[in-house]
Amino acid sequence: MNRFKLKATTTVMVLLCLMYFITYVDRVNVSTAAGQFSTELGLSNTQLGFIFSAFAYPYMIFQFIGGWVSDRFGAKRTLIACAFVWATATVLTGMAGGFMSLVAARMLLGLGEGATFPAATSAMAAWVSKEKRGFAQGITHSAARLGNAMAPVMVMGLMTAYDWRFAFYLLGAVSFGWVVLWFVAYTEKPADHPRITPEEVAALPQPKVRQKDAPGTYARLFKRMLPVSSVYFCYNWILWLMLSWIPMYFMHNYKLNIKEAVLFTSGVFFAGVVGDLLGGWISDKILHRTGNLKLARTWLVAICMGLTGLALIPVLLFQEPMYSLIFLGLALFFNEMTVGPMWAIPMDIAHDRAGTASGIMNGTAATATIISPLLAGYLIDRTGDWSLPFMVSIGVLACGVLLTFTMKPQNAFEARTTQSTQLDLNPAI
């Protein structure tokens, strides 16, 4: 039986994939449930829109804070606290009695999930070898896309069997269950894990004792990560356009019913799952064979982002639902291929500050999650043209291709430190 036990490093990655899956289910479940609770609670479409967007504001802010916290206090403590908050928020969503309580629950969810991805990146910096960083980021983000694709089906099934409130109670219980698993199975220092082998420890980055940062270190790291954040902004632009508007696009542009629109939307999103897996794997293969970070990260991102823009052109030219399904799927596939290398870059640039660096990247780029859906809605209302947001996105992606060459992942961040105080990056819990 022992031979069927997962290795310690594999166990950590499975837990992180499960976390990414759960967070995205809890993030988008409200959209599926809205059909029931909006009628029960007497909510207007304007109120629904505000409920949907309430998640984004604390989420964006806590990207910055959460990355620093995870580097300072460790990924174990940070993710336990985060999961407890987002699980509580999910349960409270099911208990909501009106507009304000739903907004409060969604904001609490954003607060809880804001630090999760930077903290996970901090964990991966310790638990994943350099040559596997791209694949590790790719497979965890593919789990997130899988959660996004499966959430409507899961929530709809629970609502049909019971009601919308039960769906949130059960999903909250699953999140609480993940807290227990993480507490039991994760150690801050890989060498402290009871099941880790000497071979696994030898393959992982050696832990460092970091001296206290000199004043201005965060500002310097923010400046260093700004080109990376700009590229990730362009990635987020098309992602959140699709997450927010693809179902409505199929329903209104092609006059499909909701069931048909959900099927088309799921097809597009499942293409993203494959893109996440493949992009990280290819990035690591290139790095292993060439040792060239610029080729493995910068050039791969530039090519995939360019192909994303090219895949959107037929969506503008051929107004048929099957063509849109195929080419929107291709666009999301190539867009998601950039995720593995993009999330590996913070570890490449600032290994012992990977949580902080990834929080800066994702927090800055999260502005696209607000701007892109809002601008799309405005353009559609003003022109009635559902293809116009994709035309704008092609321009954004073209800028992203040019900006990739300013990232320079091969140039590591050199921190200035004080000599008096040392911080243990891996405190025991």
Q: How would you write the chain as a 3-class SS string?
A: CHHHCCCHHHHHHHHHHHHHHHHHHHHHHHHHHHHHHHHHHCCCHHHHHHHHHHCHHHHHHHHHHHHHHHHHHCHHHHHHHHHHHHHHHHHHHHHCCCHHHHHHHHHHHHHHHHCHHHHHHHHHHHHCCHHHHHHHHHHHHHHHHHHHHHHHHHHHHHHHHCCHHHHHHHHHHHHHHHHHHHHHHCCCCHHHCCCCCHHHHHHCCCCCEEEEECCCHHHHHHHHHHHHHHHHHHHHHHHHHHHHHHHHHHHHHCCCCHHHHHHHHHHHHHHHHHHHHHHHHHHHHHHHHHCCHHHHHHHHHHHHHHHHHHHHHHHHHCCCHHHHHHHHHHHHHHHHHCHHHHHHHHHHHCHHHHHHHHHHHHHHHCHHHHHHHHHHHHHHHHHCCCCHHHHHHHHHHHHHHHHHHHCCCCCCCCCCEEEEEEEECCCCC
- pLDDT above 80 (res 262): no
**Which pLDDT band, with edges at 50, 70 and 90, does 222 fall under?**
confident
pLDDT for 426: 44
CATH architecture of 221-411: Up-down Bundle (1.20)
pLDDT of residue 359: 81
Say how many C-beta atoms besides its own lie within 10 A of residue 3's C-beta: 4
The whole-number average pLDDT for the span 174-198 is 90
- Tell whether the model's pLDDT for residue 420 goes beyond 80: no
Answer yes or no: is pLDDT of 104 > 60: yes
Nearest partner of 284 among 270, 297, 294, judged by Cα: 297
Task: Give the pLDDT of residue 216.
Answer: 76
Q: How far is CA 345 from CA 149, 291, 339, in A?
A: 26, 14, 10
Bridge partners of residue 213, in order along the sequence = 417
Query: Does 191 have pLDDT greater than 90?
Result: no
pLDDT > 70 in the chain, percent: 91
The residue that leads in pLDDT, 413 or 407, is 407
Q: Mean pLDDT lowest for which of 33-37, 43-47, 374-378?
A: 43-47
pLDDT value of position 377: 75
pLDDT above 80 (res 381): no
Cα 96 from Cα 102, distance rounded (Å): 6
d(CA 113, CA 233): 19
pLDDT given for residue 46 in this prediction: 67
Which pLDDT score is estimated for 127?
Answer: 86
Asked if 41 and 97 count as a contact pair (C-beta separation under 8 A), the reply is yes
Lowest-pLDDT choice from 59-63, 95-99, 340-344: 59-63
CA–CA separation, 225 vs 41, rounded Å? Answer: 44
In terms of average pLDDT, the best of 124-138, 293-307, 403-417 is 293-307
Question: By C-alpha distance, which of 148, 165, 204, 175 is closest to 12?
Answer: 204
pLDDT > 90 fraction of the chain, expressed in percent and rounded: 26
Query: Quick one: average pLDDT of 151-164?
Result: 81
Q: What is the pLDDT of residue 424?
A: 44
- pLDDT at position 207: 62
Per-residue pLDDT, averaged over 23-30, amounts to 83
Buried b (16+ CB within 10 A) or exposed e, 42-74: ebeeebbeebbbbbbbbbbebbbbbbbbbbbbb
- What's the CATH fold of domain 1-200? Growth Hormone; Chain: A; (1.20.1250)
pLDDT confidence band for 3 (50 / 70 / 90) = low
Q: What is the pTM of this model?
A: 0.76
Of the pLDDT bands very low, low, confident and very high (cuts 50, 70, 90), residue 422 is: very low
Residue given tokens 């530039």 in the structure block: 302
> Where do the structural domains in the chain lie, given as residue ranges?
1-200, 221-411
Evaluate if residue 356 carries a pLDDT over 50.
yes
Arithmetic mean of pLDDT over the chain: 83
Per the model's pLDDT, the better-predicted residue between 140 and 68 turns out to be: 140
More confident residue, 361 or 371: 361
Least confident range from 108-112, 130-134, 387-391: namely 130-134
* Least confident residue range of 35-39, 152-156, 213-217, 375-379: 213-217
Average pLDDT for residues 277-296, to the nearest whole number? Answer: 88
Asked if pLDDT for residue 147 goes beyond 90, the answer is no
Query: Stretch 325-339: mean pLDDT, rounded?
Result: 92
The larger pLDDT score, comparing residue 38 to residue 11, is at 11
